[in-house]
Structure 1
Amino acid sequence: MKRLVCTLALMLLPLPGLAGQVSVFAAASLKTALTDVATNWEDQTGHDVTLSFAGSSALARQIEAGAPADVFISANTAWMDHLEQLGLLHQGSRADLLGNQLVLIGPAGAAPLALDDGLVDALDGGHMAMALYQAVPAGIYGKAALEFLGLWSEIAPHVAQADNVRAALALVALGETPLGIVYRTDAQAEPKVSVVATFPQNSHPPITYPVAMLADTRSDDAQSFLDYLSTPVAKAIFQRHGFTDPPQSN
């Protein structure tokens, strides 16, 4: 099998889709779990998956600009809504795939922290790592949670923004920042960090990962891969990596 996990920059060339090959644009937080799911699908079908991971906002903008992709998985509904409003989704293919939790992380072995006014003191002159809070879902959720808790105005001057949630995770894992806001699945994937607090679910919009096939897909296998994402086998892999069922729509 020749699955390629590549960066967004490599997806800018307008290559045509091929039979037996599926190009997937997916939120950075899915990297570990979706790579395992794709490997299973490849082993079962003999076909190839190309996975490109980045912030949902960057991926959606590249799709809007014409970057070739067959399937898109966003870490929030807003960017999928954006593409749907532009008519870029295959009609009827959109579905809510997964859910997640928002957590505060510190270095491995760090003691639990209270989500209160002492959070700035816990930074000890350092910064709070977050994904871009005006564009990337993890950052948007994080800002909303801090606003709900009345902490945003105090924390905002100390935020170190990263292009995506995995980049924010890396800042804490490498010791560049003492704390960071990521998804629970990201923390689970990185042994160099520990969860020190979990944000209340009502402190931010529901964390929902919608998936859809793109309207201009040329892959004969995009629908097959899309269907596989909701099978019991794929769901078990996602759950093993810490993902949950998607939140129930109101």
Structure 2
Amino acid sequence: MKKLGVGALLAAATLALAGCGGSSSSSDPKETTELTVSAAASLTDALTEIQKTYEADHPNVKLTFNFGGSGTLEQQIEQGAPSDLFLSAADKNMDALVGKGLIEDGKHAELLENELVVVVPADGGASIGALADLAQDEVKKVAIGIPESVPAGSYAQEALTAAGLWDQVRSKTVQAKDVRQVLQYVETGNTDAGFVYKTDALTSDKVKVAFAVDPASYTKASYPIGIVKATKHEAEAEDFYEYLQSKDALDVFVKFGFSLPE
């Protein structure tokens, strides 16, 4: 038998590898795209449920959520942190990014609305039924989100200021990084009361709603959505953007206590 030279052997091996590569590529699954969604903490439960349905229908897309205060998320996007979509709990944070050209033109919209409430521990505590009660000596600590970065905290400050109570209540406030931390403070009894959204209150059996804050006393709690211009996955980001505005997704949001813009 004639022996093949080294060069011929290498050529044969190269052809064999190429053939293997060609045959396997046709059966390889499509590459998975990871979408990073920066979203207000109050959307955690609804988006987690939506994620299951969306990923089941889109097996080549993996959703990764970065939950936090809307102001903090806005700053992260401004500083170049990876993000494909932004869901804010306040118009001002979305407007700031739109104004700086960091959101895709024509790819932002009002998605949801929410309601501010005051919660107290479910097992009792101070008697609280109105904003004025928060100024009582009996109430030692009141949790709110950091007003500068958490929309619910900003709304709480607005409402207390409108009632002439901010100066009295401010000294007893415990500020939190987002509404979920506020909820945790009340659940654990570390504060006597806390300002959260109605949707947050519905997720916990360790708190109860003391009262709903007069919506006329604070800026409307709107939730805009937008595609971040720096996304590297424009087609996938746009598909999820559209899906979140579909009836299937909106029904989930409503189930968790959100309302839809009129």
Structure 1 partner of 2:44: 31
SS at 2:201 equivalent: helix
Partners of 1:21 and 1:221 within 8 A in 2? no
Distance 1:217 1:109, change over 3 A: same
Residue 70 (structure 1) aligned with residue 76 (structure 2): no
Provide, for residues 162-219 of structure 1, a one-character-per-residue CA deviation record: whole Å limited to 9, x for no partner. 0111111110011110100000001101111100010111010011000000101111
SS at 1:233 equivalent: helix
- Out of 110, 114, 125, the residue aligned to residue 96 of structure 1 is 110
Q: Which amino acid letter does the alignment assign opposite residue 43 of structure 2?
A: L
Partners of 2:83 and 2:231 within 8 A in 1? yes
Distance 1:223 1:19, change over 3 A: farther
- Out of 140, 144, 162, the residue aligned to residue 148 of structure 1 is 162
Provide, for residues 81-128 of structure 1, a one-character-per-residue CA deviation record: whole Å limited to 9, x for no partner. 11111110011000000000000000115487332433222x625210
Partners of 2:40 and 2:89 within 8 A in 1? yes
Q: Larger RCO: Structure 1 or Structure 2 (Cα < 8 Å, ≥ 6 residues apart)?
A: 1
- Out of 128, 131, 134, the residue aligned to residue 119 of structure 1 is 134
Q: Which amino acid letter does the alignment assign opposite residue 22 of structure 1?
A: L
Residue 162 (structure 1) aligned with residue 176 (structure 2): yes
> Pairwise CA RMSD of aligned residues?
1.6
Task: Tell me how far apart the structure 2 counterparts of residues 71 and 21 of structure 1 sit (CA, whole Å).
Answer: 12
Q: For residues 18-57 of structure 1, what are the structure 2 equivalents within 5 Å?
A: 20-46=33-59, 47-57=61-71
Larger Rg: 2
Residue 234 (structure 1) aligned with residue 245 (structure 2): no
Q: Normalising by the residue count of structure 1, what TM-score does the alignment of the two structures yield?
A: 0.87
Task: Tell me how far apart the structure 2 counterparts of residues 239 and 63 of structure 1 sit (CA, whole Å).
Answer: 28
Provide, for residues 114-160 of structure 1, a one-character-per-residue CA deviation record: whole Å limited to 9, x for no partner. 32433222x62521000001221010011001111222111111110
Structure 2 partner of 1:185: 199
**Deviation at 1:38?**
1.6
Task: Tell me how far apart the structure 1 counterparts of residues 103 and 131 of structure 2 sit (CA, whole Å).
Answer: 42
Q: Which amino acid letter does the alignment assign opposite residue 188 of structure 1?
A: L
- Out of 87, 108, 125, the residue aligned to residue 101 of structure 2 is 87
Q: Which amino acid letter does the alignment assign opposite residue 93 of structure 1?
A: K
Gapped runs of 5+ residues in structure 2? Answer: 1-30
SS at 1:113 equivalent: coil
Distance 1:116 1:225, change over 3 A: closer
Distance 1:75 1:51, change over 3 A: same
Gapped runs of 5+ residues in structure 1? Answer: 1-17
Q: For residues 187-226 of structure 1, what are the structure 2 equivalents within 5 Å?
A: 187-219=201-233, 220-226=235-241
Partners of 2:32 and 2:62 within 8 A in 1? no
Provide, for residues 9-35 of structure 1, a one-character-per-residue CA deviation record: whole Å limited to 9, x for no partner. xxxxxxxxx863211000011111111
Task: Tell me how far apart the structure 1 counterparts of residues 139 and 114 of structure 2 sit (CA, whole Å).
Answer: 30
Task: Tell me how far apart the structure 1 counterparts of residues 32 and 231 of structure 2 sit (CA, whole Å).
Answer: 11
Q: Normalising by the residue count of structure 2, what TM-score does the alignment of the two structures yield?
A: 0.84
